[in-house]
Amino acid sequence: MKKPIVLIAPGMSLFLIGTLMLLALTGFRLPPLESEVRGPAAGKPGPALVAFPRPQFVAHVVTATKHLPEVAGVAEIRSGTRWLNAWSADGSQTPTAPPPGYQVPVDVASVDPEQFRDLVPEPLRLKFLDLGNGGAILSRTGAALRGIRETGNLHFPGTSIPVIGVVDDHLIRNHEVIVSHNTGLSVGLDETRYLVIGLNKVESGKLVEQTIRGAIPSGATMRVRGPSGSGASAGLSPLLSMAQIKSRFGEFAAVTGAGSTIQIDQAWIDANTEMTNIPLLGVFRCHKKMGAQIAGAFEEVQQKDLGHLIRPNDFGGCFSPRFIRSGNDAGLSRHAWGAAFDFNVSTNLYGESPTMDPRIVKIMERHGFSWGGRWHYPDGMHFEFVREYSK
């Protein structure tokens, strides 16, 4: 979800960065607000389609699109959650680290710099080409969480990566960190997750989508999303990135547990979550910033005499530290922050056609929650935070 860029005065920026460094040292409990991490825009990238072909068809799509006159550039994106041991800003004497035995989950992406430079504004292209020398570029949100202004170092298991710059989040597809494919291999990024296809004109999206669908075998599935006015078969996702979730709900340190679970630092859990009384369902643990919003949604369900559509004994939980069901490489579930909830589980199973009453969906969406039943691979029981509720 894109937000307006907020300009901040240099003096205020210095004060906030100092505050962020202090917060990082005390357990990442109070993340920066969006207005605190935005800086002057270096320019906006052009419109783009995002395509999710199966791995065996990636080369077909790249070949079919890279020479189209409507296409400004094509880049393969590898991405995943990686675990950060420590970090430092240039000039700091001691790296900042999470509590002993814990690591910080970070959303990292890798690109071919030669491909990706065509998808960023002209003034930044040389900076992105520098990724080929082994460095990393951070989003402003990710840099603020690290207390890094422009340069520093990220320490992952087995490797350290120098930070060579900071850019607005949307310029790196809202990932926290972007590196080259070669550097990405050192942290285990080895599989293309999606393609970004830059458009010279937004209205050419439909033609480009038709071309890339024609490049893969008939019957093969592929998701294509595009901005409003592009003619793409689906719009861009309204879901928040992991960096945006951290900005709202805080950054935690954790270790991987059995299966798809993680174990979060108990100090973070105590500071950020609480037992919440959810009308029609009962008392469950959620993030402190979610309780009133969830309760308000179910109160409206009651007020509209729709309570009989909610099954109290069929609630799937709110706070649940784990990865997304589709696999650990897909990233952390928003349940790990207590920023999502599942209900009417037994008749809205993951991957099956949802049966959630549309009146319930409408209420939840109006209260600021996105419904998993609209996803390509549906999760009809699932709702997660995307915005604050305003009447």
> What is the per-residue DSSP string for 171-187?
GGTT-SEEEEHHHHHTT
Residue 237 lies in a domain: no
pLDDT of residue 150: 92
Token pair of 231 as six digits: 């003619």
Is the same domain home to 194 and 267?
no
Is the same domain home to 197 and 294?
no
Is the same domain home to 21 and 149?
yes
pLDDT of residue 327: 57
Place of tokens 């009447």: 391
Q: Tell me the angle at which helices 58-65 and 205-214 cross, rounded to the nearest 10 degrees.
A: 130
Question: Which residue segment(s) compose the domain that 334 sits in?
Answer: 252-385
Q: Which of 172, 163, 232 has the alpha carbon at shortest distance from 202?
A: 232
pLDDT of residue 326: 57
Residue 244 lies in a domain: no
pLDDT of residue 174: 95
Is the same domain home to 72 and 203?
yes
Is the same domain home to 64 and 212?
yes
Is the same domain home to 65 and 185?
yes
pLDDT of residue 29: 30
Q: Which of 206, 225, 244 is the last residue of a domain?
A: 225
What is the pTM assigned to this prediction?
0.86
CB 194 within 8 A of CB 226: no
Residue 247 lies in a domain: no
Phi and psi at 181, nearest 5°, equal -60, -40
Is the same domain home to 34 and 175?
yes
Question: d(Cα 17, Cα 146) in Å, to the nearest integer?
Answer: 9
Question: d(Cα 287, Cα 323) in Å, to the nearest integer?
Answer: 17
Partnered with residue 51 across adjacent β-strands are 195, 224
Burial class (CB within 10 angstroms; exposed 0-12, middle 13-18, buried 19+) of 185: middle
pLDDT of residue 328: 52
Instruction: Using DSSP bridges, classify how beta strands 159-167 and 136-139 pair: parallel, antiparallel or unpaired.
Output: parallel
Residue 96 lies in a domain: yes
- CATH code of the domain in which 373 resides: 3.30.1380
Is the same domain home to 88 and 216?
yes
pLDDT in tens, the chain (391 residues): 433 333 323 333 222 323 333 233 333 333 333 333 333 445 678 899 999 999 999 999 999 998 999 999 999 999 999 999 999 998 787 899 999 999 999 999 999 999 999 999 999 999 999 999 999 999 999 999 999 999 999 999 999 999 999 999 999 999 999 999 999 999 999 999 999 999 999 999 999 999 999 999 988 889 999 999 999 988 888 899 999 999 999 999 999 998 899 999 999 999 999 999 999 999 999 999 999 999 999 999 999 999 999 999 999 999 999 998 755 566 899 999 999 999 999 999 999 999 999 999 999 999 999 999 998 889 999 999 999 987 7
Instruction: Using DSSP bridges, classify how beta strands 177-180 and 104-111 pair: parallel, antiparallel or unpaired.
Output: parallel
What single-letter DSSP state applies at residue 296? H
Report how far Cα 372 is from the mean position of its chain's Cα atoms: 15
CB 31 within 8 A of CB 250: yes
Token pair of 326 as six digits: 């589709």
Q: Which helix (H) or strand (E) holds 104?
A: strand 104-111
How does DSSP assign 207-239, residue by residue? HHHHHHHHTS-TT--EEEEB-TTS--SSBPP-P
Residue 4 lies in a domain: no
Residue 166 lies in a domain: yes
Is the same domain home to 159 and 262?
no
- Cα–Cα distances in Å, from 193 out to 51, 196, 332? 9, 10, 15
Residue 158 lies in a domain: yes
Is the same domain home to 169 and 279?
no
Token pair of 29 as six digits: 């409990």
Domain count, the chain: 2
Q: Which of 225, 243, 260 is the last residue of a domain?
A: 225
Is the same domain home to 220 and 297?
no
Residue 33 lies in a domain: yes
Is the same domain home to 17 and 122?
yes
